[in-house]
Amino acid sequence: MLGEYLERGTAMETLEPILVESAFFKGMKKEYMQLLVGCASNVRFEAGEFILQEGKAANACYLIRHGKVALEVHAPKRGPITIQTLGEGEVLGWSWLVRPYHWHFDARAVEPTRAIALDGECLRRKSEEDCCLGYELLKRFSLIMVERLQAARFQLVNIYDV
Amino acid sequence: MKVDTLAEILHGHPLAQEFGPHHLDMLAESARDVHFDKGWIIFREGDECGTFYLVLSGKVALEIKGPNRSFQIQTLGAGDELGWSSVLMSEGRHFQARALEPVWALAFDGTRLLQTCREDPSFGFALMHRLLGVVSERLQATRLQLMDVYAS
């Protein structure tokens, strides 16, 4: 599915400055960015298209450049429920970092969405080869996950606290 | 308790699957064992996040204060990590932890361990990887709870 949306040929030259300027990679050493850009490619999704699906192999993360993405879970009686919406500059997907490396939810583009996909296997390999890079990368993913955990917990408290 | 005994505890813990022996020794060096009586507050919302815990026995409730009342978001038991996520944030604890039973835990000096992470990125990588696993499980559990609420 991913393959059709890759814009090969433009990736290597143009993606590095975009990654460097993103809030997520702020402060990352230039030499690491040069390694990471090798894992990056441009992807596009139409409105309504699934970016990732629950239960499928998790093999990438996405830095959203434009558009809007809904994270959805499936409730038995209600169908899909949006648990969070992500937009420009935000990062989607970390299950490629955590065993058993499959997605725990669906993510769907609610608008036409452009993103940079970072290949999970490529990131894992580079992290294992250079643990300084791995540490810098994991630290960043840990922070956004902690923020989302806090947000989800407050969401739960607000529902009950009425 | 002596440091070597703490190291033994750590070497027998599931954490040993992710941390090599050398890294477990580094963890043990900044650990002390602590006890909390039933009902004791281990940390409060807003407290500084310098310490994180590994629960060895007993039960701990994580509680968040809503505008109207406190809400128990999770209970943790033997083998569980406690307070790890807050160590990365610099804005104080987001929830309270209370001992539901007498609790025995290892307390780690998080500030010192984050310093160790910077000095030894291979240790940092292992610690962050474990943290990711913990936060991922908790996030998944919280989202399932949210889903139950919405579906009911």
Per residue in A27-52, pLDDT (tens digit) is: 999 999 999 999 999 999 999 999 99
For residues A125-137, give the mean pLDDT.
92
Is the model's pTM score more than 0.90? no
Residue B68 Cα, gap to closest chain A Cα (Å): 6
Report chain B's mean pLDDT, rounded to a whole number.
88
Distance CA B130, CA B16 (A): 11
What ipTM does this complex have?
0.84
* Chain A interface, best mutation among B75, B132, B138, B149, by max A CB count within 10 A: B132
Taking contacts as CB-CB distances below 8 angstroms, the residues of chain B near A134 are 121, 125
Question: What confidence score (pLDDT) does residue A140 get?
Answer: 93
**pLDDT class for A9, splitting at 50, 70, 90?**
very low
Question: What confidence score (pLDDT) does residue A11 get?
Answer: 45
**pLDDT class for A2, splitting at 50, 70, 90?**
low
For residues B21-38, give the mean pLDDT.
92
Residues of chain A with pLDDT > 90, as a percent, come to: 63
DSSP 8-class letter at A37: G
- The region that residue B103 occupies, defined by phi over 0 for left and psi between -120 and 50 for alpha, beta otherwise, is beta
Distance CA A109, CA A91 (A): 13
Question: What confidence score (pLDDT) does residue A12 get?
Answer: 46
Which member of A83, A141, A156 has the closest CB to residue B132? Answer: A141
For chain B, list residues whose CB is within 8 angstroms of any CB belonging to chain A.
64, 66-69, 71, 73, 85-86, 88-89, 94-95, 117, 121-122, 124-125, 128-129, 131-133, 135-136, 138-140, 142-151
Does A134 sit within 8 Å of B121, measured CB to CB? yes
Strands of B103-109's sheet, edge to edge? B31-36, B103-109, B51-57, B81-82
For residues B83-93, give the mean pLDDT.
79
Distance CA A109, CA A69 (A): 4
| pLDDT tens-place string over residues A70-117 | 999 887 777 888 888 999 999 999 999 888 899 988 999 999 999 999
| pLDDT tens-place string over residues B117-145 | 989 999 999 999 998 999 999 988 888 88
A4, pLDDT greater than 70? no
Helices vs. strands in chain A: H and E counts, helices first: 4, 8
Does A159 sit within 8 Å of B147, measured CB to CB? no
Report chain A's mean pLDDT, rounded to a whole number.
88
Question: What confidence score (pLDDT) does residue B18 get?
Answer: 82
Question: What confidence score (pLDDT) does residue B4 get?
Answer: 55
Nearest CA in chain A to B71: A157
Nearest to A124 by CA among A64, A63, A60: A60
For chain A, list residues whose CB is within 8 angstroms of any CB belonging to chain B.
73, 75-78, 81, 83, 94-95, 97-99, 104-105, 127, 131-132, 134-136, 138-139, 141-143, 145-146, 148-150, 152-162
Taking contacts as CB-CB distances below 8 angstroms, the residues of chain B near A157 are 64, 66, 71, 73
For residues B60-81, give the mean pLDDT.
89
Which member of B86, B117, B146 has the closest CB to residue A83? Answer: B146
For residues B15-22, give the mean pLDDT.
85
